[in-house]
Amino acid sequence: MSTPTIHSAPTGHPAPNPGRSSVKGGLLDPKMLWRSVPDAVRKLDPRTLWRNPVMFVVEVGAVWSTVLAVVEPSWFGWLTVIWLWLTVVFANLAEAVAEGRGKAQADTLRKAKTDMVARRLNGWSAGAGGTEEQVPAPRLQQGDFVVVEAGQTIPGDGDVVEGIASVDESAITGESAPVIRESGGDRSAVTGGTTVLSDRIVVKITQKPGESFIDRMIALVEGANRQKTPNEIALNILLAALTIIFVFAVATLQPLAIFSKANNPGVPDSLALTGDGVTGIVMVALLVCLIPTTIGALLSAIGIAGMDRLVQRNVLAMSGRAVEAAGDVNVLLLDKTGTITLGNRQASDFVPLPGVTPERLADAAQLSSLADETPEGRSIVVYAKQEYGLRARTPGELAGAEWVEFTAMTRMSGVDLEDGHLLRKGATASVAEWIRARGGDVPGALADVVDEISAAGGTPLAVGEVRNGTASVLGVIHLKDVVKQGMRERFDEMRKMGIRTVMITGDNPLTAKAIADEAGVDDFLAEATPEDKLALIKREQEGGKLVAMTGDGTNDAPALAQADVGVAMNTGTSAAKEAGNMVDLDSDPTKLIEIVEIGKQLLITRGALTTFSIANDIAKYFAIIPALFVSLFPGLDLLNVMRLHSPQSAILSAVIFNAVVIVALIPLSLKGVRYTPASASKLLSRNLLVYGLGGIIAPFVGIKLIDLVIQLLPGMS
């Protein structure tokens, strides 16, 4: 295996982001909120809730407080118990709302699944039709062959092995424009539930029963198969550890208060509250307010919402791990054609040889390209019309002309007119050979022009003619890859994120360098083979980097499987889609850049809300501890900056704020914190300033306002 060589390309200048600046669908829909309430209540089942250790502890405390409130009822006790239960329900509501958004999408996908009958072909092989048999679609096995004709629904995922057809994939992608699927090549994969609009195809089933593409999509968007990511698991362990520490810390407060009261007989109560039942409820309330309940409640919703944002962009992530890895990507591997460039080379200049006028070359180039139906040929016709005022002629206008269509064999197109005037346009070598075969000479100036265009990264096409028996070369057409608008700006943003972009192309190094310079990528890999891609990914990973790439062909499968984030195109082969850990239903290679931004947004959102939650706890210390112990330790009055009405109102205000803030943060957890490209240090500073400082200030304001309302309630004076 050869070792790929990376060539450095210059960087560009920062510019504004031309892409999307916001993530849609983050605000709470009251109807969806109401529909999610039953799911939130069902999630109170301890067998479900134990997976969230923080909220499980809150539920256990709520149960114990309920028992204590029944034994020794009071306004304070029952109000506290109610808000403890609401804290658990609100936490479940955050996850239920996130899942509810996915269920709405799953309902749409289920419409694509019907009780279809498949036309299975037994004994089918290329050239032999086989015998047809009708079977229920769920009974299809891997390796079965089915025939699908116009108007029929494809019964399962597979590859087209015979025929070509137009397919409506709107049930899957939401895109109404049909796509072409054909046997061979990289556009053979079809998805069960899509509809054939024209012609007839034979499909080889590649799915296992019950594991179709739609089945997996439904399970993923509903959250049924969502596995916690490594970072999420680590954060859960940290939150569980903090919860255990606070359980022991709170458990020691009552013995400490009793011991201190014994040494201070003038203090009437140990916790400034009376009654054994009330004291137990206070201990639970204190624990719930001090443990990180906010992030514990929203952590699952953040992960589900991250995958949901990808689904909104028609990207199916096979695991939450892939979404999270996208946020940590260091290197992006991007194909040149269709990703960085428009995919079709276009005419950009006509270069006449000495003695030939530009107008004569333009006329010959347009005429010789009329029979060329390739995108390049059509661009020559359009360029001649726009730049030289030549009207768009058609082959039918020239009576008696014999048209020579472009083929991969001849690599030329042209026309033979009635007066013996012959024109050809095509690859330089092919046109030069055609000129020599008719007794003409190829001037040395042609090689100079061809070399100059090639050095600039363009593709030269020669134009030759035979007039009055004399063969000559008129000039050269300069074709160039057109870089998509805004790509340089997007690569500048990647650079701000600390991500290196590498363009992969099969072009020669000169052409590759020219495109890399224009697009503003950091590096490029020219004349790349599948083995080169795989070797490059392994080399980057050995250096501790996380790599993301896109691909659509079977030859891309090894590299997609090796990459940390492998995005397969939906138009690609089944092998590519199985190898990648994401599938882009729109088959837009530039989507990889958006995927990275969504991954980073998920990580930033999780970090921001964790910071906010911990900062909240710090503020709640100042609200509760001084109010409870100021009579026992008068020196704590210096910390009683909030001057709450009473110990009871301090406890209840903190519990209410602790519950309400969860609901208030559900929209942010679903929408995500707005992400703007910046260095890690700037992101950390902004995180601490906005969510750290904001997390400290918000409880002071919120708890004080709630306290002003609570002191008006009966029994709180």
Q: What is the Cα–Cα distance from 216 to 206, expressed in whole angstroms?
A: 14
Residue of 243, 87, 44, 239 whose CA lies nearest to 662: 87
Where do we find the tokens 């000559």? 472
Q: What is the CATH number of domain 348-476?
A: 3.40.1110.10
Where do we find the tokens 């060329």? 372
Top-confidence residue, 5 or 309:
309
pLDDT tens digits, one per residue of 257-283: 666 665 555 554 444 454 444 578 888
Q: Of the ranges 50-64, 120-134, 366-380, which one carries the lowest mean pLDDT score?
A: 120-134
Buried b (16+ CB within 10 A) or exposed e, 262-291: eeeeebebbbbbebebbbbbbbbbbbbbbb
DSSP letters along 637-705, please?
GGG-TT--S-HHHHHHHHHHHHHHHHHHHHHHHHH--------HHHHHHHHIIIIIHHHHHHHHHHHHH
Around Cβ 539, how many Cβ atoms within 10 Å? 14
Range ranked top by mean pLDDT from 137-141, 161-165, 647-651: 161-165
Residue of 43, 21, 106 whose CA lies nearest to 672: 21
Residue 251: its H or E element: helix 230-251
pLDDT interval class at 199 (50, 70, 90): confident
Residue 196: its H or E element: strand 195-196
pLDDT interval class at 212 (50, 70, 90): low
- 481 near 450, Cβ under 8 Å? no
Half-sphere exposure (Cβ direction) of 658: Cα atoms closer than 13 Å: 36
Give the CA dihedral 160, 164, 166, 172, nearest 10 degrees: 10
Q: Of the ranges 162-166, 337-341, 360-364, 647-651, which one carries the lowest mean pLDDT score?
A: 337-341
**Residue list for the binding site:** 372, 376, 406-413, 425, 552, 556
Please, what is the end-to-end C-alpha distance for the chain in angstroms?
82
pLDDT on residue 580? 83
pLDDT on residue 711? 78
pLDDT on residue 112? 52
pLDDT on residue 84? 93
Where do we find the tokens 């910390």? 639
User: Cα–Cα distances in Å, from 194 out to 213, 335, 500, 681, 704?
Assistant: 11, 28, 38, 47, 58
- CA of residue 236 relative to chain centroid, distance: 24
Q: What is the Cα–Cα distance from 115 to 126, expressed in whole angstroms?
A: 29
- Token pair for residue 386? 């726009």
- CA of residue 345 relative to chain centroid, distance: 29
Please give the backbone phi and psi of residue 147, each rounded to the nearest 5 degrees, phi first: -110, 135
Around Cβ 389, how many Cβ atoms within 10 Å? 9
pLDDT tens digits, one per residue of 489-507: 888 878 877 889 898 887 7
pLDDT tens digits, one per residue of 636-689: 777 777 777 777 888 888 899 999 999 889 888 888 888 777 766 787 888 888
Q: What is the Cα–Cα distance from 619 to 324, expressed in whole angstroms?
A: 31
% of the chain exceeding 70 in pLDDT = 81
Q: Is 560 left (phi over 0), alpha (psi -120 to 50) or beta?
A: alpha
Where do we find the tokens 């419409």? 111
- CATH fold of 315-340+484-585 reads Rossmann fold (3.40.50)
pLDDT on residue 110? 60
- 695 near 614, Cβ under 8 Å? yes
Q: Of the ranges 63-72, 98-107, 365-374, which one carries the lowest mean pLDDT score?
A: 98-107
| Predicted TM-score (pTM) of this structure | 0.64
What is the torsional sign of CA 186, 187, 189, 191? positive
**Residue list for the binding site for ATP:** 372, 376, 406-413, 425
pLDDT on residue 224? 42
pLDDT on residue 12? 37
Average of per-residue pLDDT across 132-139:
83
Residue of 19, 1, 77 whose CA lies nearest to 651: 77
Q: Which amino acid is at 537?
A: I
Name the packing angle between helices 30-42 and 75-110 (round to 10°).
110
- Token pair for residue 26? 């983050």
- Helices (H), ranges, 543-646: 557-562, 574-579, 591-629
User: Cα–Cα distances in Å, from 544 out to 328, 398, 504, 629?
Assistant: 11, 64, 21, 52
Tally of helices (H runs) and strands (E runs) in the chain = 24, 23
Around Cβ 497, how many Cβ atoms within 10 Å? 21
Top-confidence residue, 20 or 92:
92
Q: Which amino acid is at 567?
A: V
Sheet with 402-404: strands ordered across: 346-352, 470-480, 459-467, 422-427, 412-416, 402-404
- 229 near 303, Cβ under 8 Å? yes
% of the chain exceeding 90 in pLDDT = 9
**Residue list for the binding site for Mg(2+):** 552, 556
CA angle (680 as vertex; 676, 686 as ends), nearest 5:
60
Where do we find the tokens 């993530």? 23
Q: Of the ranges 122-126, 421-425, 464-468, which one carries the lowest mean pLDDT score?
A: 122-126
Top-confidence residue, 345 or 264:
345
pLDDT on residue 4? 42
User: Cα–Cα distances in Å, from 653 out to 279, 454, 553, 647?
Assistant: 16, 74, 60, 10
Q: Domain residues of the chain, as ranges?
A: 30-100+226-309+598-711, 315-340+484-585, 348-476
- CA of residue 515 relative to chain centroid, distance: 26
Among all residues, which ones are annotated catalytic? 335
Length of the chain: 717
Q: Is pLDDT at 66 greater than 90 in this prediction?
A: yes
- Token pair for residue 474? 């008129």
pLDDT tens digits, one per residue of 512-536: 888 888 888 899 888 887 788 888 9
Relative to beta strand 547-551, strand 412-416 is: unpaired
pLDDT on residue 274? 47
Q: Of the ranges 24-28, 565-569, 650-654, which one carries the lowest mean pLDDT score?
A: 24-28
What is the torsional sign of CA 536, 537, 539, 544? positive
Q: Is 90 exposed, middle or buried (0-12, 13-18, 19+ CB in 10 A)?
A: buried
Where do we find the tokens 């980073």? 600
Please give the backbone phi and psi of residue 274, each rounded to the nearest 5 degrees, phi first: -110, 155
Q: What is the Cα–Cα distance from 257 to 266, expressed in whole angstroms?
A: 13
Provide the mean pLDDT of the chain.
Answer: 79
pLDDT on residue 675? 77
pLDDT on residue 257? 66
Residue of 578, 545, 580, 543 whose CA lies nearest to 562: 580
Q: Is 672 left (phi over 0), alpha (psi -120 to 50) or beta?
A: left
Q: Is 326 exposed, middle or buried (0-12, 13-18, 19+ CB in 10 A)?
A: buried
Q: What is the Cα–Cα distance from 654 to 616, expressed in whole angstroms?
A: 10
pLDDT interval class at 228 (50, 70, 90): low
pLDDT tens digits, one per residue of 573-616: 777 777 888 888 777 777 878 888 888 888 889 889 999 998 88
Q: Is pLDDT at 16 greater than 50 in this prediction?
A: no
